[in-house]
Chains A and B, each alone.
Chain A
């Protein structure tokens, strides 16, 4: 390794320095010698700019995206660039739409909080301290963003006054809390110029006041009449209760002089919050509570916008979707991390799939034809979906199948039509999903709110959704629906843009007419609807059904017909739309469905991988000597020393004698030679000893063991494999 020596040299003493700015050696910079200056003294933006400009623009471009040349280097530069631009464009689009949704997510809460702040006044709350309890939900990762939004909203958009956001980290003592509040309230407004005035008291005591004296705020308020002072505590649960109580009492004492408003972020529930504070403190507060949108709802909105919407060309495949949503459900529960996972899907797809360039030119036939090289065509012919296409074409149009195989031109046209087909499938899917959700929300709102769309998604893509209980339940309930509910359903569905909207509207008017003609109270019923009954034996059910049938009026019968036909239409419609995506030609390009990078990159297993490396080093090293034994090879003398030691460590009890470990280690490492009597000064023996120490140190560094404090010369085992 030549590079290594260079590296070591240049690192030199730096490797023991805690942190430093990396300065490349002249050696490394020979290709671009000018840059050295720019790196070492980054204060020279002008010179740096020049350097960037002077660079070959093309080189700059590749450097920027760093996309590799695929298809065994047959891909030309422009295509690589096109791939990058396609990624950039498509992701930017998704990102923009997602951000719009995300901005909307908290809009309601923000609006309510801001109004609360604006309206609060001494007249309204009397002596009490106006307080807003913001129920933020358990996802602490989102709280920071929410409070930032509140801050901007109150401070910059609605201009109600100043906001001081406090976190539990500030709650060490009351003085610090007050200092921070004062700093946040006064400093920002006054800007750099007046900083001295504020800094001065910070140094010690100013002429008359301590720097934690709330009267500073009072002065500030005199200069800014009408401004409110909002103190927002982001994580109330973690905030030191004693400090919180003191803070509240101080704010309360000043509330007639300073228009204080308290906002408390609560991740758990109001009850828990009340339990935490003494009643005397709670009595000082008066105000309102604000709910933040549930995670599932915002997640669903983002999902619909970013994945389901027909504007998103690239979709998640079922496998990767399952992976992402499972992780969301069990671990992260954060919309932000979903967006990141989605972004990573886009990144991987465009980075590693040469054919993804097609996505960039779906609407532009000419450019698409131009951009697809022979190598691309060859790659398309290697897709599994191409094989399916050809095989399905052979029986009907054999000549066309041959064309596809031999002529690039006909293949390209097939690609174009396939991409149209994929888009149509997607938009149909989106429409059908939307329709189904609406239907579900009308007929069984309970279920609709329980199971979010994104959990149905993968089933739908597999094409097996119509056999799932969720689907059958919905259809069955529709059949049973009374006329009022059904009417509501028809009207809702008619509003959606679909091929049936007119027929739905028609049925709706028919049902309405029937209902009007009906004399009996309670709406029309269908034969499927059994009135609620606790008598559930088959016989009694049948008897009642018969009764019911005979009791049905002619309107009921007509209504029944409408319901049956509508449900039939719907069922057929869904069955048609919810077909497996794998039937599509080029689905590999329009659906990203690789599980592996996602699971490894977002849900890594660092510990098992270290354990594996040490217990079966052959897996990583790929050498013949360590792989000999196969699955359970056990310890081999040829393995790296740390691996040998680790495996001996695994066999050891919780308390390990170093000498025992050493003797075992020695035997394994030396093999045959271990029988020879050890010579104290033997160089080889000493060397092995050094290796032993190093391996031991490494295991300790990795966190597997530590020295025992109770027993000399012993190690304590800290980790058990697979535990």
Chain B
């Protein structure tokens, strides 16, 4: 190492500047480089630069980082970039490596002594380079910064700047080293308050629909490869195995098409959409029963789910004796609704029955943890990699529904309060007394009324402005015999506060205003629920 450092060649010509990211790659690929254990060169570059310069060049903003990243893509596009990359495994790289080592040393020992000669040289080489490449960038930056209106971007910049001062994040992206590096906790990622402008669900879906897939043909080709296995799957199923597909991408279409073929050949197919929120194992058992007996069979099993499965299995025994079988298709067998051990145990019992052929898909990276050895033996799975690269549109929209889709659409900003969510409210309400429900109904209905008057959009949050005065609520409560005294009202409200179902504030006149902090849409569904329930 020592010797190498000494014969650093002079800096390469400025026009041959490799991207910083490509250097990152070189470093990671080179054996024994210190970069495995510490921050990105990108960051190191910032660190190594004189801090005054950084502060002085104020437009060195998020954009700067973006440019860095960008280098990679622009470089990567050109065919000759590789050659350039290789050709430049030279001074630049070595100097970066030196600096990284320095920074590690600093990290470890926390020494603040000056650069030694070698490092100085490396520093100079790097700085020369950097000045050449980044100045033009920053010029452009400045021009743009002036022209653009200061708006939502501004806080973002502030945030970015802060981030740049934080210690270097990491370059290792794999394995335990990455884990320890990245969880060290000193690299506070960002204190930016900038948020993304929200997208309404409508726009979101419209835009996604409009945009075709990047790799349309490749994805289709991939699907065709999987489809070539249909016969094999059928054979495996017929031999008493059950099939589980894994891999990235929605396997819904793939499975539906398989099932279409199956059904065309006369087998009975029960489809279970695991990703649908309210799914229960009971529904599946009922559906299997219906598939066996036909509609309106009128057979009722015990209340106990274990009794139920026994009944279904007996039915299937008879069914099997008739030489028939049921193909049970479960999309996302690892989805939230089926994630209980009981549901999986029952499914396994069902799948183990010779008259049931289970074909399922799993998506979560930890799906395998659902099963212990005895369930797994019952399932008797053969696993197939079915990476499709098809977007999980249905699955995620169903998954997001439970947390409120806006949550995702706005990147989780709108609904911190919404996170406890409308769904949670329904659960809480279900466990409360009728009076409490009625009280909440009054509150929501009144709030909705005033929101309606204002003509606000569906995904607008309920706020103080639409709230109900405490006195009004009490009056209404009295009228409907919900509460006989203020004390009773307060007890009822206490429960709501605890679950963050209501918020309250004293307004200017000093009277208390209460409101439910949910979006209009959610409020409507809550109201509906209360009325129906």
Contact = CB atoms under 8 A, between A and B. Distances in A.
Chain B interface size band reads 35 or more
Given A19-B272, A21-B291, A606-B246, A1 B220 contact: yes
B503 interface: no
B50 interface: no
B279 A18 contact: yes
Given A332-B373, A634-B72, A698-B392, A42 B190 contact: no
B69 A667 contact: yes
A42 B268 contact: yes
Given A609-B385, A610-B248, A640-B215, A698 B72 contact: no
Chain A interface size band reads 35 or more
Interface string B363-380: 111111000111011101
B170 A651 contact: yes
A534 interface: no
Given A344-B241, A602-B382, A16 B66 contact: no
Nearest to A628: B76
A16 B273 contact: yes
Interface in A643-677: 647, 650-660, 662-664, 666-668, 671-672, 674-675, 677
B391 A698 contact: yes
B264 to A, nearest CB: 5
Contacts of B291: 21, 42
Contacts of B210: 687
Interface in A28-73: 28-29, 31-32, 35, 38-39, 41-45, 48, 51-52, 63-68
Nearest to B76: A636
A68 B231 contact: yes
B214 A601 contact: no
A722 interface: yes
Contact of B257 (A3, A52, A668): A3
Contacts of B266: 32, 35, 38-39, 48, 51-52
B382 A344 contact: yes
Among B72, B184, B240, max chain A CB count under 10 A is at B72
Contacts of A637: 73, 76
B301 interface: no
A630 to B, nearest CB: 9
Among B372, B385, B413, max chain A CB count under 10 A is at B385
Interface string A149-182: 0000000000000000000011000000000000
A723 interface: yes
A720 interface: yes
A697 interface: yes
B196 A659 contact: yes
Interface stretch (B2-10, B197-205, B425-433, B522-530): B197-205
A602 B140 contact: no
A622 B342 CA distance: 41
B131 interface: no
Contacts of B297: 43
A139 interface: yes
B374 to A, nearest CB: 4
A347 interface: yes
Contacts of A289: none
Contacts of B156: 659, 663
Given A16-B276, A48-B266, A609 B409 contact: no
Contact of A720 (B179, B213, B376): B179
A658 B196 contact: yes
A144 B70 contact: no
A64 B238 contact: yes
B163 A19 contact: no
Contact of A653 (B159, B169, B213, B409): B169
Given A7-B256, A655-B189, A680-B151, A143 B72 contact: no
B222 A621 contact: yes
B51 interface: no
Contacts of B263: 22-24, 28, 39
Contacts of A52: 266
Interface string B270-287: 111100101110011001
B134 interface: no
A314 to B, nearest CB: 15
A675 B169 contact: no
Contacts of A347: 235-236, 239
A140 B253 CA distance: 36
B412 interface: yes
Given A606-B246, A609-B385, A668-B73, A41 B295 contact: yes
A713 B268 contact: no
B278 A721 contact: no
Interface string B17-34: 000010001001100000
B29 A35 contact: no
Contacts of A654: 182-183, 185
B152 to A, nearest CB: 8
B391 A671 contact: no
Contact of B273 (A18, A65, A696, A704): A18
Contacts of A611: 365
Interface stretch (B112-120, B394-402, B460-468): B394-402
A65 B270 contact: no
A634 B75 CA distance: 12
A713 B383 contact: no
Contact of B265 (A63, A332, A634): A63
B259 to A, nearest CB: 6
Contacts of B382: 344, 601-602
Contacts of A604: 246, 383-385
Interface in B119-171: 140, 144, 147-148, 151-153, 156, 159-160, 163, 169-171
Given A11-B256, A606-B365, A693 B204 contact: yes
Interface in B65-124: 65-67, 69-70, 72-74, 76-77, 82
Nearest to B166: A653
A537 interface: no
B70 A667 contact: yes
B411 A658 contact: yes
A700 B412 CA distance: 12
B204 A690 contact: yes
Contact of A664 (B65, B363, B396): B65
A99 interface: no
Interface in A668-723: 668, 671-672, 674-675, 677-678, 680, 683, 686-687, 689-691, 693-694, 696-698, 700-704, 707, 709, 712-715, 717, 719-723
B412 A606 contact: no
Contacts of B48: none
A4 B270 CA distance: 20
B62 interface: yes
B208 A20 contact: no
A530 interface: no
B413 A713 contact: yes
B362 interface: yes
Given A45-B322, A610-B247, A672 B74 contact: yes
Contact of B269 (A22, A331, A658): A22
Given A16-B394, A24-B264, 13 more contacts: A19-B273, A23-B263, A140-B374, A604-B385, A609-B246, A622-B221, A651-B171, A658-B412, A664-B66, A667-B69, A668-B72, A687-B207, A723-B174
Interface of A: 1, 3-4, 7, 11, 14-24, 28-29, 31-32, 35, 38-39, 41-45, 48, 51-52, 63-68, 139-141, 143-144, 169-170, 331-332, 334, 336-337, 340, 343-344, 347, 351, 600-602, 604, 606-607, 609-611, 613-614, 617, 620-623, 626, 628-629, 631-642, 647, 650-660, 662-664, 666-668, 671-672, 674-675, 677-678, 680, 683, 686-687, 689-691, 693-694, 696-698, 700-704, 707, 709, 712-715, 717, 719-723
21 contacts: A21-B290, A24-B263, A32-B264, A42-B291, A65-B238, A343-B239, A602-B383, A606-B246, A613-B249, A622-B218, A640-B214, A653-B189, A668-B69, A668-B70, A680-B151, A680-B197, A689-B196, A696-B408, A696-B411, A702-B364, A707-B407
